[in-house]
Amino acid sequence: MDNNAGEQMSYWMETAPPGSLHPPLGTDVTVDVAVIGAGIAGLSAAWELARSGRSVAVLEADRIAAGVTGHTTAKLSALHTLIYDRLRRTRGSEGAKLYARSQTEAIQHAAAVADELGIDCDWEDTEAFTFAQEGARVDELRAEADAAREAGLPAEFVTETGLPFPVAGAVRVAEQAQFHPRKYLLALADDLRAQGALIHERTRVEGLKEGEPCRLTTEAGATVTAADVVVATHYPIFDRALLFTRLSPRRELVLAAPVPSGLAPRGMFITPEQGTRSLRTAPYQDGGRLLIVTGEHFTPGTGDAGERFERLADWATGHFGQLTFTHRWATQDNDSTDSVPLVGPLHAASRHTYVATGFGGWGLSGGIMAGRLLADLIDGREPPWSGLYDPRRVRTAVREAPAFLKHQAQVARHFIGDRLSSSSDVSLDRIAAGDGAVVRVDGRRCAVYRDEDGGVHAVSARCTHLGCLVAFNRTERAWECPCHGSRFGPDGEILQGPATRPLERRDI
Ligand code: FES
């Protein structure tokens, strides 16, 4: 396939079995714990809780393991680019050690679960590298290797990586892993159901009333009564603590191309240089390997993905030679202002509601860690790293201030500036087939998409989360909100939260 043509398809979505169908919730139910969101964090939490004897209901707005988890690069690594030197400075050596231990134990736990349940998920033990091609980054890499080693990881600074191009230096961490996330999670969900848990797909939760018990209401009108509630919707759909002020959405593009196994680098790679690139391979047809390249991150709603896919393809072929891309897809992450996920009680007064978010591109090890941590908290245990990840943490507030202010300034620019600007408006007849634009009709801003047959689809341009204006991503054919990353289809249907209501239809 051409790198900028055809439908997007995640390799993980294409190559996993279809999975069992889980019916939408049609009646009221009462359980010990309700888990909202069936990605890796939600399913991991649900599985741990079911194992400890709790009755559990998992409520997923779409299909299980089909959102961010089905579109990740699927690295199970405790080496998160350059986190340890930063943690050493912001959270002290003890904080860095707790981070390393919690992530490492998550990876080991996933290996043990896959083994115990006999899950065929293409598990491969491997190494993780953070590398740079610019000599100016070598000091940072040396500092990171030192900090990661001090944190307890088997880390070292190296100049040889096995990549088919030279690097100035790299941090290498042994004993990491990669797998097929959707195969793993579909099997985990089957086991979860075998333990008596309820799983309901196409069940969008719209309301949460906290109390003893808590009560959830779904779009279809059913209610779930639960002693405890876990919000694992990637970007939290309920947010009394205003976590959205501490989270920045980031979209990232992925391309994949088969390579002969002899040319496939062994390991998982990422660069901290501007325009981050991430690499790994996966088993492919006839004993070959699929090279998976990720990069070109951008804030959703700030432009089209097409040119960015082109740049990523150019980088890949420039470093690996001629490639024929077979898959391309995009994923979305949320960065927390201090680069540490937010996992724990949903807000300061929370007694029975919990959240997991802000994994910053490391949501697989992070999601498994979060699932175990939340199950521990609900079961009354406090692992030593619960304070590190606690969303109520305030100690780092001063250090977070620059990132916080930058994010809020961006949100304010989109919330207020986009309304005042007239430059984003175009006339209806200038919208080409397959494209979309924000158009002012009778004083109201409408998001208008013209389909390939010339039909016009119009919805409100105001995001149903908090009211920012959406923008069209032509290549991905989606309306995207730059404030907190909600995404909508051409007819306004929700593709990605935190919005829980579609864009309103408009007649024009
Ligand atoms: Fe928050 Fe759109 S996602 S305003």
Ligand 1, pocket residues at CB < 6 Å: 463, 465-468, 481, 483-486, 498-499
DSSP state of 468: P
Q: What is the pLDDT of residue 69?
A: 77
pLDDT value of residue 399: 61
Write the CA distances from 209 to 182, 228, 306, integer angstroms.
32, 11, 42
In sequence order, the β-bridge partners of residue 298 are 251
Cα 20 from Cα 23, distance rounded (Å): 10
Residue 445 alpha carbon to ligand 1 centre in Å: 16
Output the pTM of the full model: 0.91
Contact yes or no for 213/55 (Cβ under 8 A): no
Q: Whose CA is nearest to atom 4 of ligand 1?
A: 466
CA dist 73 and 88 (Å) reads: 27
pLDDT score for 404: 59
Domain locations in the chain as residue ranges: 25-71+182-245+339-402, 428-496
Question: Hey, is 206 helix, strand or coil?
Answer: strand
Cα 359 to Cα 40, 93, 115, 233, 237: the distances in Å are 11, 21, 25, 12, 16
Residue 59 CA to residue 200 CA, distance in Å, equals: 5
Question: Structure tokens of 68?
Answer: 């961010």
CA 391 to ligand 1 centroid distance, Å: 20
Tokens of 387: 């304070």
- Tell me which residue has its CA closest to atom 3 in ligand 1: 484
In this prediction, residue 1 carries a pLDDT of 45
Partners of residue 78 on adjacent β-strands: none
CATH superfamily label, 428-496: Rieske [2Fe-2S] iron-sulphur domain (2.102.10.10)
Ligand 1 centroid–CA 260 distance in Å is 43
Q: What pLDDT does residue 429 have?
A: 80
pLDDT by residue for the chain (508 residues), tens digit each? 444 434 578 999 989 888 788 999 999 999 999 999 999 999 999 999 999 999 999 999 999 888 877 788 889 999 999 999 999 999 999 999 999 999 999 999 999 999 999 999 999 999 999 999 999 999 999 999 999 999 999 999 999 999 999 999 999 999 999 999 999 999 999 999 999 999 999 999 999 999 999 999 999 999 999 999 999 999 899 888 888 888 999 999 999 999 987 789 999 999 987 678 999 999 998 888 999 999 999 999 998 888 999 999 999 999 999 999 999 999 999 999 999 999 999 999 999 999 999 999 899 999 999 999 999 999 999 999 999 999 998 755 556 666 656 666 666 656 555 555 654 567 788 898 999 999 988 888 899 999 999 899 999 999 999 999 999 999 999 999 999 999 999 999 999 889 999 999 998 8
Domains 25-71+182-245+339-402 and 428-496 share a fold: no
25-71+182-245+339-402, CATH topology level: FAD/NAD(P)-binding domain (3.50.50)
CA distance 3 to 325: 6
Give how far the C-alpha of residue 166 lies from the chain's centroid of Cα atoms, to the nearest Å.
30
Q: How far is the CA of 15 from the centre of ligand 1 (A)?
A: 32
Please give the pLDDT value at position 508: 81
Q: Which residue has the tokens 């399913």?
A: 43
Q: Which atom from ligand 1 is nearest to the alpha carbon of 470?
A: 2
Q: How far is the CA of 463 from the centre of ligand 1 (A)?
A: 6
CB 317 within 8 A of CB 323: yes
